Chain A
Amino acid sequence: MMQEAVLRVEEMMTPQLVPAREQCEQQDLLAFRDRVFCLCLGFAGNAADAGDLTQETYAKALGHCAADRPANPLAWVLRIARNTCLDLARRKKSRGPQHPISEYAAVDRDTPESVAGRQEEITIVRRAIAVLPQRLREVLVMREYGELSYQEIALALGIGMGTVMSRLNRARSAVLRFYQEEHHGKSG
């Protein structure tokens, strides 16, 4: 009797949630979890924020999956992730400048010196990406962190393939310049 009442209340409270979840699971949305996380890592610059952003992205995706019925679920969920990351960046910008932190940076089973050196290099790369203009950063992050093809990036951002390539080229040059300046500045 009691269980029936609880079930009835649940049906009343979440009328479309269960079908939406089932549909999203059918579409294997959750299989893109790692790619979503990597994209968020590229945008956020640290693993802790990337984890939170991935959760937030999936919360949005699961909530809207049934209504939106995406034709290309991967592109759809990555677009949600990108927008979520940009929202966070905007919120952080309004709170003041922040630098990407180096927690959870790559740690291998090498000597402590090499690990420390590599961690520093990764931090420099993250900073180089963080200081890029948004239109260059999003292309670079989608390509290098999200592992999207040029065509997928063009579709996701609504720009031409040529624009994707030229932006990617400029972004890479800027990151390299920043990295070399910082690296030589520290080692020299």
Chain B
Amino acid sequence: MADDLFTPTITPTAYAGPRRPPWRPGSLIYPAILGGALAGTTLALINAGRLRLPARDTLAIAGAGLVALAARVLVTTMLLDGRVSGPGRVVGALCGALAWTVANLLQKGRFRSYEMRGGEPTSLVKAGIAATLGLGLVEGLIIVLAGGLR
């Protein structure tokens, strides 16, 4: 049967279960919006590893995260005098949402395939709260430092 459709393409090791189950990509919006682009992107990159995303997609997530973080730092320091509360908080949420949008687009299909193989997502609650508080604070410090340099 000379038909490339009927050529085996599934290798035994390529689809072994992940070392740790991934998070639902849609849930990453919470730390991304509440904690900012740094928190959202860090969790999205960990999730990319768990979902075995291709290197190109992982780099795109990292790139979008960096752009979102740079945009937040620039807008907050240049237009809002380094204030992270009030409108500064909204800018942080929008930049987090931007980083999440790219991560979600690139991870959704891979996560759904994982689900179709019977995989279950793991809870994001602990890691999400830790990233929101810890990395949200780091992002705030970066803004303060950038404001000081200006």
User: Are A and B interaction partners?
Assistant: no
A contact set with B: CB distance below 8 Å: none
B contact set with A: CB distance below 8 Å: none
